[in-house]
Structure 1
Amino acid sequence: MNAIIATPPTGGSIHIAISTAWHSISLRELYERAGRVAAYLVALGTDSGDRIGILSSNRLEWVLLDLAALRLGVETAGLEPGKFEPTSELLARYDLKVLFTDTPVDLPGILAISDIENHSDSARSEVWPPVSYAPEDITTIKFTSGSTGVPKGLAATAGSIDSSVTAIQQMFDHGPGDNLLVFLPLSLLQQRYWIYSALAYGHDVTLCTYTSVFAVMASVRPTVVMGVPAFFEAARREIEQSAAEIDTDSADEALRAAANELFGGCIRYLWTGSAPAGSALLDFYASVGLAIFEGYGLNETCIVAKNSPGAARAGSVGRVLSGKTVLIDSEGIVRVRSEYPVSHRYLYAEPGASDRVFRGDNTVITGDVGYLDSDGYLYILGRADDTIVLDNGRKIVVRAIEERLVGVGTTITECVVFCRAQTELVAVASSDRLPADRDAVAAQLAAANLGAHRDERISRVVVADEPFSIGNGLLTSQYKPRRQRIYTRFEAGLTNPEEGIHAC
């Protein structure tokens, strides 16, 4: 953190593409504007050690506030729209000196984030005494993306951020000529890594939102796009639809052309993580000439492992990063020890929550089941909580079954498998073709069950009445299915053996 706030960068730009129109400013200008926003925060009475909240969708002012806070030694709390509401109770709960939001509200201590740019455009230059961060110093509060209850907070340390950004730079060597696309919410700390990386290494970065990303990629022409598997599944469908309209004798050439058009034609690599990516998805991008690398990490650990150029292995989430050690316990649970831990406990959590995850030796119990191969590649098999024990005693890891169902066809684009009474596997499936073709769903189910062990066969599929999405609350902001919400919403179909579509 010290490197990006000590001196202004000499190269690179940030491109703001919140809609189809976009504009750019140099990273040096971004740095100087952040200094002027820091002056505004001081005028509001904010001091080192205070905490400000940012509750807004992605925009330039979000970045300016975050960088201004870093310049002052002020903590930020990144609050996800839709999960939090701007209220006086929110200010008190998280001890916020002030809250900036894009939601219109007239309450003391809550300010419009849109006003920030007015305080950054002044011609005067602000010079601040240097702020130095020790590795254990807290820079920001981030929140878990759990589907139930009040989100747990994590006080992220400067050392954990520096360690992760440095390790990734060693693997991918971002620099001038690169343009990294950020479209997931900035309330997710990892998305801010790429702003910090741009300031440290002089590459470009483009900021947009997940609702505008497909509209802007072709014009901003990123070299690196980082997204969760559900995003790349959606992009795959866009590519296939566009390819069908290209007049050529070669289907492969049409797919490659459509992929290049969608992503802008300058891709160096694609990055995916936060949720498992199936082999069919990874194989598709390889077939259209776009390198895609899967990785693994948690809010509690930052990035743990990553496939990278020259060091990628199919089925794995990559080699473990420097500064991290992966340990597999007797139950197959993955534990991660960090040289620079994110935190040692949760904030704003129920009693006992921290004890279940954090250990005193800088180790986090991930709750994931996995193993390391002889070359140090990490494989994640699924969540321990999502391992089903059948009435015959057999343990079933549902992730592999879900990936198989999605991977053998195109009608079911996402699914969650549940076990009814420990005897029957039933899937709730999402399709972007509504009403879903029942024959196609049945055929995809039959293909998934073909050759599977009898205990791993899905007996029927309940098709959701709308695709899983962030908007309807069935996906988290990182596009992970909210299993409990999905179960609750479709419980009637799951528990009624007469409901759903059976294999043909």
Structure 2
Amino acid sequence: MTMPLTHDGRISTPDDTPTTLPAWLRFQAQQRPTETAIREKRLGRWREIDWAEYWNLAATVGAALTELGVAAGDRVAIHSENRPEWVYADIGAQGIGAIPFGIYPTNPAAEVGFLLEHSGARVLIAEDQEQVDKVIEAGDACPSVERIIVIDRRGVTDYDDERLMWWEDFLALGTAALEQHPLLFNDEVDRRVPSEVATIVYTSGTTGQPKAAMLSAHLMVEDGQAALGALGMTRSDEVLSYLPLCHLAEKVYTLFIPLQLGCVVNFAESIEAVQQNLVEIQPSVFLGVPRIWQKMRANIESRANDTDWLKRANFRLWLRVARWRGSVRVANRGQDTLATRIVGGIGHWMLYRPLKAKLGMLRCRQAVSGSAPISQETLEFFLGIGVPICEAYGLTEAATVSWTLSDDVRVGTVGPPVPSMDVKIADDGEILVKGPLVFSGYFRDEEATKQSFTDDGWLMTGDIGELADGHLRITDRKKDVMITAGGKNITPTVIENRLRASPLVKEAIVIGDGRKYVSALIGIEGEVAGDWAQRNDVAYTTYRDLTEQPEILELVAEVVREANTELARVEQVKSYRLLPKELDEDDSEVTATQKVKRRVIAERFADLIEGMYEETS
């Protein structure tokens, strides 16, 4: 489908410097129309989409939404895994002044209903039957939804719901509108101003219902620039889009950076195929949350047991060397010494090169971790095999606050504030920020917006931290800080990170507020524990059965003992229990971003918690 972009077939920009993401897409389509912008894998083959087609499809979506009566300020929901249609819908909606927002594909029907009702979305773009079913199940909870655009109609064609419209028919509607008015979308993009609310992003909702943070067009452009400045990316870089686009972090790497830089975005075939797609693409820049990095590390270490004795010996030797090299580089602020450079060069050919190729990290010159703290052991491990990970700190309400500098790594910090943001520490230790990357407020919640700022306009992040030599150190969430019965302040994140440093531990939830001592609920990593059990002839049937095996219990006991050696006496875990099940979003135990809902856990596993204190009473 090729549509004229202007009356003479060219794309013009009213200003040399675009100020919104749709205007940046238009700029890229003008500058490099036939160059690859997007790759997607379907039916086993990678398909390329150039910048001109990207613009055409976004324009078609924008025109189609206009034909459906969507106007500036109306909300458009996108309920899908990452795929090209996601970004066409996002940019198409932004281009006409509508406000797009994402819904996590894993959200249960009740939460989908809440988000649609709260946002007042007029149009929902749903990926497939699974997502359509959730909207239908939500029923009267979302009366504002007038149209449901279905991307993949399989299983839905016989549904009797007059709101349903197939993606192909939706695009045909937009195509017809552009044939009548070729400049429709182009002119709408010209009308956009940087101060407009361009999208809303819902918070994770760990302590209550999610809130809708409003982000301006200016914020998104500035956030992309801040990331570019920190990462030093070029147009030759490639990224893989796989983390949920509902989350602000993935938007940075799928939209904010590529649209301004002109680099290629590769869409993973599915969440299950991410590892395979990583190997095929070998991206040069890769974003992962700590859980991803920890799982990669666990898989690497368990792989050492799946080879013959000679390969196993080589594997174990060079993994030990990697840990040593990583610890030395961390002590040297991320830089190699002469010794680590020589040893790393030998290790590159003995193990690290093929290992990185199998991970999909062979071309990765810059890896990023965000959304939660990452353990020092994990940072050292990847630094040791030649995959430098920098940490980024931000929040839904303040996009990007700080970055770890690749040439000045200081473990335990999240780097200095980005140049456009001001950071200071309040008297009670809370981190306060101000600058162009701060959100415009909560949608339909003026009171919550007011409570988020100090009287002199600083955003209260809710995080406790400190500035040391210009680098920001995060201690914990303010609401999570605990005070024991003895009056000692405990920051649970520090303890939990020590426990999660072991590949065996997936979840660690520290208990201690108002208690005599610190205890913990521990969730084991099923794959790692299961692999160990099989190799050591430990029979089990279910996850719960695995957590009850004496051999597994002893492994966890050793993890706790080792963690306690690096904790202050008052922080040490005196008692613990293994969770009998894996925490699940469907059971409201974790959010869509896998953040633990502490209040729910405390209620659901109250018997386990009380048992840890009764045994010593």
Check the 8 A contact 1:320/1:326 in 2, yes or no. Answer: yes
User: What is the aligned length?
Assistant: 497
Amino acid corresponding to residue 574 of structure 2 in structure 1: S
Amino acid corresponding to residue 310 of structure 1 in structure 2: D
- Report how far residue 175 of structure 1 moved: 2.2
Of 489, 494, 499, which aligns to 2:604? 489
**Structure 2 CA distance for partners of 1:450 and 1:314, relative to 1, 3 Å:** closer
Q: Distance in 2 between matches of 1:499 and 1:363?
A: 45
Check the 8 A contact 2:199/2:216 in 1, yes or no. Answer: yes
Stretch of structure 1 that moved more, 450-459 or 58-67:
450-459
Structure 1 position 214 matched with structure 2 position 214: no
Unaligned runs of 5+ in 1: none
Unaligned runs of 5+ in 2: 1-19, 137-144, 153-165, 319-349, 530-542
Q: Distance in 1 between matches of 2:564 and 2:587?
A: 30
What is the 5 A alignment of 1:321-470?
Answer: 321-343=418-440, 345-349=441-445, 352-359=447-454, 361-374=456-469, 376-407=470-501, 409-419=502-512, 421-432=514-525, 433=529, 434=543, 435-436=546-547, 437-450=552-565, 452-468=567-583, 470=585
Indicate the SS of the match to 1:49. Answer: coil
Q: Equivalent residue for 2:288? A: 227
- Report how far residue 373 of structure 1 moved: 1.4
Q: Equivalent residue for 2:346? A: none
Q: Equivalent residue for 1:110? A: 148
Check the 8 A contact 1:388/1:398 in 2, yes or no. Answer: yes
Indicate the SS of the match to 2:508. Answer: strand
Structure 1 position 54 matched with structure 2 position 75: no
Amino acid corresponding to residue 236 of structure 1 in structure 2: R
Structure 1 position 100 matched with structure 2 position 138: no
Indicate the SS of the match to 2:612. Answer: coil
Check the 8 A contact 2:151/2:167 in 1, yes or no. Answer: yes
Indicate the SS of the match to 1:359. Answer: coil
- Report how far residue 185 of structure 1 moved: 1.1
Q: Distance in 2 between matches of 1:384 and 1:152?
A: 18
What is the 5 A alignment of 1:9-408?
Answer: 9=29, 10=32, 11-17=35-41, 22-83=46-107, 85=109, 91-102=116-127, 103-105=131-133, 108-114=146-152, 115-116=166-167, 119-120=170-171, 126-127=182-183, 128-129=186-187, 130-194=189-253, 195-208=255-268, 209-246=270-307, 248=311, 249-251=313-315, 252=318, 253-254=350-351, 257-343=354-440, 345-349=441-445, 352-359=447-454, 361-374=456-469, 376-407=470-501
Q: Distance in 2 between matches of 1:239 and 1:154?
A: 38
More helix by share: 2
Identical columns (%): 26
**Structure 2 CA distance for partners of 1:333 and 1:91, relative to 1, 3 Å:** closer
Check the 8 A contact 1:157/1:341 in 2, yes or no. Answer: no
- Report how far residue 371 of structure 1 moved: 0.8
Check the 8 A contact 1:19/1:216 in 2, yes or no. Answer: no
Q: Distance in 2 between matches of 1:181 and 1:162?
A: 20
Q: Distance in 1 between matches of 2:295 and 2:46?
A: 23
Larger Rg: 2
Q: Distance in 2 between matches of 1:483 and 1:88?
A: 23
Q: Distance in 2 between matches of 1:478 and 1:226?
A: 14
Indicate the SS of the match to 1:66. Answer: helix
**Structure 2 CA distance for partners of 1:420 and 1:187, relative to 1, 3 Å:** closer
**Structure 2 CA distance for partners of 1:118 and 1:27, relative to 1, 3 Å:** farther
Check the 8 A contact 2:367/2:388 in 1, yes or no. Answer: yes
Q: Distance in 2 between matches of 1:231 and 1:471?
A: 21
Q: Distance in 2 between matches of 1:256 and 1:287?
A: 12
Q: Distance in 1 between matches of 2:477 and 2:262?
A: 38
Amino acid corresponding to residue 599 of structure 2 in structure 1: Q
- Report how far residue 132 of structure 1 moved: 4.4
Stretch of structure 1 that moved more, 2-11 or 48-57:
2-11
Q: Distance in 2 between matches of 1:360 and 1:137?
A: 24
**Structure 2 CA distance for partners of 1:416 and 1:31, relative to 1, 3 Å:** same
- Report how far residue 82 of structure 1 moved: 3.7
Check the 8 A contact 2:106/2:592 in 1, yes or no. Answer: no
Check the 8 A contact 2:590/2:596 in 1, yes or no. Answer: yes
- Report how far residue 446 of structure 1 moved: 1.3
Indicate the SS of the match to 1:426. Answer: strand
- Report how far residue 292 of structure 1 moved: 0.5
* Structure 1 residues 195-235: Cα deviation after superposition (integer angstroms, max 9, x where no partner): 23212211111223543322321112211111210111111
* Structure 1 residues 323-357: Cα deviation after superposition (integer angstroms, max 9, x where no partner): 111110111110111135312x32245x8433332
Check the 8 A contact 1:243/1:255 in 2, yes or no. Answer: no
Indicate the SS of the match to 1:319. Answer: coil
Amino acid corresponding to residue 102 of structure 2 in structure 1: G
Q: Equivalent residue for 1:478? A: 593
**Structure 2 CA distance for partners of 1:293 and 1:468, relative to 1, 3 Å:** farther
Amino acid corresponding to residue 422 of structure 1 in structure 2: R
Amino acid corresponding to residue 290 of structure 2 in structure 1: P
**Structure 2 CA distance for partners of 1:426 and 1:214, relative to 1, 3 Å:** same
**Structure 2 CA distance for partners of 1:494 and 1:20, relative to 1, 3 Å:** farther
- Report how far residue 275 of structure 1 moved: 0.5
Check the 8 A contact 1:371/1:379 in 2, yes or no. Answer: yes
Q: Equivalent residue for 2:159? A: none
Indicate the SS of the match to 1:295. Answer: strand
